[in-house]
Structure formats: C-alpha cells, structure tokens
Amino acid sequence: MINLKITAPTFFDELNENLHTIFDSQYYVDLRSSNKIEYSDIDYKNYKYIIGKFIKCFKETDGEIIMVQDLMGNSGYAYYLENEIFKFDEEFKIYSFGENSNDELSVDIIKNSSFVKGSSSVFPLIKRFIGFSELKIKGQKIFETPISLTDIDKLFSLNRKSLNNSLKSYVNCFESKAILFSGGSDSNFIKNLLINQQKTRYIFSIVDKEYESNIVDLENIKKSNIKVDLIDLDEQEVADFINSSLFKDLIFNFKGYSNSLFQFYLTICKGKIKEDFILSGQGADTVGYLGPSEKFYFNGFFPRSVMSLLSRLRIFYLILFKDNLEELYWYIFNDINYKFIDKKRSIPEYNFVNRLIRDINQQNRISYLDKKFLILIIAKTRSFGSGSDIKSFQYVCFKLNKKIIFPLNNFCFFLLSLIFLKEKSFKSILFPKYWYANDKRFFRKRIRKAKKSIKKTKITQIYKNLIKDIIKNYKKL
C-alpha cells in the first residue's frame, strides 16, 4: 500500500517511485503505432493513447501533482486522505483498512441488486479512482477532474487496421495466460487475436446446467477446434458453496452486487490456474455496443429477447435524438435495466459532469455525434462499468491472488466497435457485436428442458434465498 504524508517535501518523489515499482513490469501498447512501450515512456501528452493497466503521476511547475491512468480505469485503485496521510492501493485492499463502513448501504445494494456508481464507496472517506478521471493534488487537498480532452479528436481518427493491430499486439504481450473461454463471440474474438493459440490454456465452467445460455455455450465449446478444460460443477457442490459462511462473507465484503461472484470464484478455484494471467472478455458488453448483449431471435414463430432489442432501440434513440449532452449523461449513468428514464443529478458526480460537458463542448474538431458516443462510453464506464461484473472479477482475483486482464475493456475496442456500428447500424442493433459475432442466425431451436431465464433456475433460487437470509439477519442486529 502507498502510505505517504501528503505535505512532506518528498511526497511526489516517493509516490512516483511507488507507482514505478507497481506498474513498471506490466505491458502497454500505444494505439498510434500498435507497438509495445515501456511504463517510463508514458507521459501526460500520450497517456490517452495507451492500453494496459497503469497509473502515473506528474508534477506541474506550480507544484500541483496530477495522477492519470488508462482511460477505462482498469487498475481498480482507490484512495483516502486523513490527517495528511494519503493511502492508495487496489480498491479491495483499501477497504480492509476502511472505517465506519455504511453497512446499511451495503445491505441496500445487495437487496436491490445494485452497486455504488461514480467515485464514491460505502466508506465515507474512501474514494475510487475510476475511468475517465484524473486526480489533482495540491497542498492538503485532492480533486477528481475529467480527463484532459486535448487532442481527443485524434483518437477518433484512428483507422480500423491500426486499432485491430493494437489489440492484437496487447493480447499477445501475455505469454503465460489462461482464457475464460465460453466459445461465444467475446472469448472467440480474443482467441482469434492470438498469434499462437495452442500455447494458451482455455477454461470453461458450467455452473448452472438448467440455464439455456450455459447449454448453448457448452455446445459451442464442443464444436471448437481447440482443447478446452471443462470444469463441470455438480449442482449440490454449487449449492453448498452458496450457502457457506465463506460465500456470505464474500458477498458482504464485496460492497456491491454481481450474480457472477459465486460462478467466477468456483471457476478460479476449481480450475487450478497456474498461469500468470487470466484473460476475460468481460467489459465487451459495456464498451462495445448499445444495450444488453442478448440477441433478438425466434424459436419457430416465437420471438425471444424482445426486451433486449427494445433496450438497444431506446439507447439508439437517445444517441440520435437527445441533443442535451448533460441529460444524455444522466440517463445513461442512472440507468437500471436499460430503461433510461432517470435524469436526476447525483452528487458528487454532478461536479464531474459539469466540468466534463463544458470541456466536450469546447472540442470543435469532434462531430456532435461522436461527442454523444463519448458521453455514452464515459457514463457507462463510471456507472455500470465501475460496479458490476468487472469489479467482481477483480475482487475474486484479489482474494485468490490472481492477475486478471480484460483485453476488450479499453478505448481501442470501443473505437473499433464504433466504426462498425456506424457502418452497419441496423444490423448492429438486431445482432449485438454483429461485426465479430459467431452466430448471426435469426432463428434458433429451443433447447428442451432448459430454463430460458437464469432467474428461474434452482441455483439462482438458492442464491436469492441466501440474499434474503443476509438481509433478514442484518435487520435483527
């Protein structure tokens, strides 16, 4: 943990040295050249072009210190300042030192299947360093501000070939790696970027045998031309884990909600992963396209995932017809289940948004449509992207001492998706991830004796009962 006195004359030098120690050995790629670069090559002028997990600090001539990170905030760090002591570390390590946790908020989050949005946390003094922000330190104060948008237009002008080469270069940085491989579009996209696919370990776990989507994934795995390690979990084994005191503690200490928590924990434990890095396609849903990932299709004459299609149409409507950028931000930031009906302002996010909108409006070299898409990705990253499945993966890997990488949770993948979305808008709405999707069928046979919705499976019911039990026991205290 970085633990420094903020008023000390050596504060910047010690902070800089600590960050170098943490991030110097990691992998980075510059989107402009698609080449690997060193941590020492990242500066304030180029950091927006860099993909990889990093945090870096710079000192201005007036003594102000600026801390920056990769645009999506993949490092998952948090901080707090008390009695002139600045503590900075991975979010869940910081939580273990936090005091006066708002347990009522934690229970409310669990009860409502939600999560804290923006830079706040359930600890009054702890703030999260999340995507599209910079931290500015001056004197004894820390301010969160939006990223500098200088030259942001140059990111939008990068071409498809350069972006694709950058992603390929980044994925191939990791030599000893295991991919969480479902056989679906995201994990196949990552696999296809690999130069040597046979040197990678592929892992798939089937946690809920009743859920139709898991059965479809298993069929895709069987058709794959690579060796996949299958982790076939017994229903009783999963149920016992969900009802265990270990899992209850995991849920409460996570300080958020994700129904992927038990699935991912069991996958990592049972997979006996010895590789240095775990790669996951998580983040592609948030970054890569409009709305939820479920594809609209037909079982015979019966349409499926109609609500998912309507959700994508709603957000597409907002992008095309909502001209107030501030309102657009709040509709997306406040969204629950893709309804986009809430435009109320949230504090402290309010101050961040005011500054952001002002800066975006000053960018004359970006089209108004691209400004809307920029608002879209920032709002999604700072809301859903800051508190759901990606956080659960980071949390589990923190608990199990593993390193997780999200190769598609970056601005490069967002720009690639945006290029294809503009080219094939209609198809992209009908078929999420159309440009790299494996399955573009409009009709699909119904799998018998399988649950259409994960909400109706036995495993989910056991999980819901546990949540009710946690809430009931808390109320008794």
Q: The whole model's pTM is what?
A: 0.93
Kindly report, residue by residue over 346-403, the tens digit of the pLDDT.
878 999 999 999 999 999 999 999 999 999 999 999 988 766 778 889 999 999 999 9
User: Residue 442: pLDDT above 80?
Assistant: no
The token duo for 407 is: 């190769």
The alpha-helical segments, DSSP class H, found in 6-102 are 11-23, 91-95
- The 3-state DSSP class for residue 272 equals coil
Least confident of 28-32, 106-110, 283-287, 339-343: 106-110
- DSSP reduced 3-state for 162: helix
* Contact (Cβ atoms closer than 8 angstroms) between residue 55 and residue 75: yes
Among 211, 253, 162, which Cα is nearest to 455's?
Answer: 211
For 161, counting Cβ atoms within 10 Å of its Cβ (0-12 exposed, 13-18 middle, 19+ buried), the class is exposed
Average pLDDT, the chain: 88
Predicted confidence (pLDDT) per residue in 228-238, tens digit: 999 988 889 99
124 prior amide bond cis, ω within 30: no
Could you tell me if 453 and 304 are in contact, meaning their C-beta atoms sit under 8 angstroms apart?
A: no
**Number of residues written out for the chain:** 477
* Phi, psi (rounded to 5 degrees) for 324: -85, 110
Q: Which amino acid is at 331?
A: Y
